[in-house]
Structure 1
Amino acid sequence: MSDVTTRRLAPLRQSATTLMPGIVVTMLVATTAQFLAEHYGTPAMLLALLLGIAVSFLGEEGKTVPGVAFSARSLLRLGVALLGVRISADLILDLGPHLIGLVVFGVVATIGFGLAVGRLFGRRWRFAFLTAGSVAICGASAAIAISAILPRDARSEQNLIFTVMGVTVLSTMAMILYPILVDAAGLDPRQAGVFLGGTIHDVAQVVGAGYTLSEETGDTATLVKLIRVSMLAPVVLVASLLIRSFAAAPQDGIAPPLLPGFVLGFLVLAALNSAHLIPEQIATLLSECSRWLLLSAIAAVGMKTNLRQVLEVGGSAIGLLVAETVFIAALILAGIRLIG
């Protein structure tokens, strides 16, 4: 290896040496969370967050700090980008125009509802959009993506942690309660799948609730959920344009990006998958990588968390999150009844 190449690689090696301890720790926490989730039936994302909080000292001091910060930022965005391999036009079109319209309307209406009632709960538009977007689209993953485009302030990280924790807990409760509601409402398997996929926040809980009832319900619920996930990129793009045009300048003077690179990656992968240019085995591998990256990133976010500050978010924030959850459930159920 020449001296020139060695000099060029030196900064990369130095960065890897600096970041590796923290990255390894976040992956160990993620692996532990996954192991516990498989054995005790608890959502892995929630366990990763709680375990991360339990070892938050690793994000505050020592050699692990740079790697933890890198995982909470860069690994997290890469995980969201790789979610694009789950999306294809064929899957979406199979559902039919009426149900697609209902799901899309549910996403837009829930975000609008959150922004409209946010002030009634004493919350500003940033927090209202963050929570409503995570409820409307895909839970923790949406919260991560939306947080990246919001102007940052002193409470940005605190609000993200609260939202991730809140939507994960609500998703788990919905996974248990919504199948009971489906039976009580007398929905057929396809309608039940539309309701579960159109209302539960996180993908894993949608799958769990859907296949608890039947294979047809599970397949439909997963498909509907993926349509909601596909709304992530357009929502982030439109929000970025509006924020840059109308929002006050951020405290640090740095405007959020018009279209973050990870959202562009999401779109590219979704387009390639829709064109059948990604082999099924590769798509499955990338989807699994996305899950592990997000799990590691959420563990890192937990390590950077001051739990006392998160709890200071207050009861009104919980009330807003619950109100948004109830709104989308009522809206989708009413839409199913209307469409028939």
Structure 2
Amino acid sequence: GMFGFSLALALIFVVFAIFPSWMTSLPKSGGWLNAVKVVLGLIEIALALKFLSTADLAYHWGILDREVFIAIWVVIAFILGFYLLGKIKFSHDSDLKYISIPRLFLGGAAFVFAFYLIPGLWGAPLKAVSALVPPLSTQDFVLNQESGPIVDSTITHPKRKYADFLEIPLKIDGFFDYQEALAYAKENKKPLFLDFTGHGCVNCREMEAKVWSDPRVLKKLKEDYIVVSLYTDDKTALPEGEQFYSKILSTKVNTVGKKFKHLQAERFNTISQPYYVLLGTDEKELVSPPIGVEFNIDKYLQYLDKGLSEFAKKQTNE
């Protein structure tokens, strides 16, 4: 996010430094410049909601649920569309005698985007923006499903640690604590799928929407692996007895997020997300190195298949 904002600001100065003659071809400041400011301002407000949503998810405030977030984006998109087509006018705008071709196309694009978002109010996946909007698990109402949090009614196991405020997408019956997942994996003789993730991880949401949702991948995650999603940015406080000082992070570990960030840094020497690790019940890596962002579904399947193959070999040799 910070890189995107800095790139957008720096790009303007870089372009005009390389092509200084372009500066002289620009029209004088006036209504057009105010229109640019309004358009960029509306876009910035929409993107700023993403950062507010990240904090909302990490602290579990429950302010920006998915449908609220999408509704605000729909309103902003309609305002942008009407403004570009001259139907809305602000105090510093000049009179718009005609609609230029660029404004017409941009206004049309804003309306198309708004209409694309609307089905998301009823639970449509919206894969194109899935990395930016809050996860579907925060939505209270999904069409063709009962209202309330999305859960699998067939699950009868005892309540799992952190499951009251964390969720795994796509109805995957997984864990949120490493030790608890490890014990379950040993009991059921299945390999572990460690998903180091985060509430603010854009690529994590995109991987879940575009790769995990593939039926072949989802089947393996649900049936062949014990999935444990370890949120490294969750702000929920740990009980006093579970807090400790992390030398590798140089900070006190006093939240759920820091607990699993410490685990990732200590065991795998990285704190990047997403980070997918396949472990045997002996806590050794089945496939090395682990992978991060991989939108190629076939390669992701190969990674999962190799993990299963290595786990089967270990089971045979034991």
TM-score, structure 2 as length reference:
0.27
- Larger RCO (CA within 8 A; separation ≥ 6): 1
Quick check: which one's strand share is greater? Answer: 2
Quick check: which one's helix share is greater? Answer: 1
TM-score, structure 1 as length reference:
0.26
Determine which structure has more spread, i.e. the larger CA radius of gyration: 2
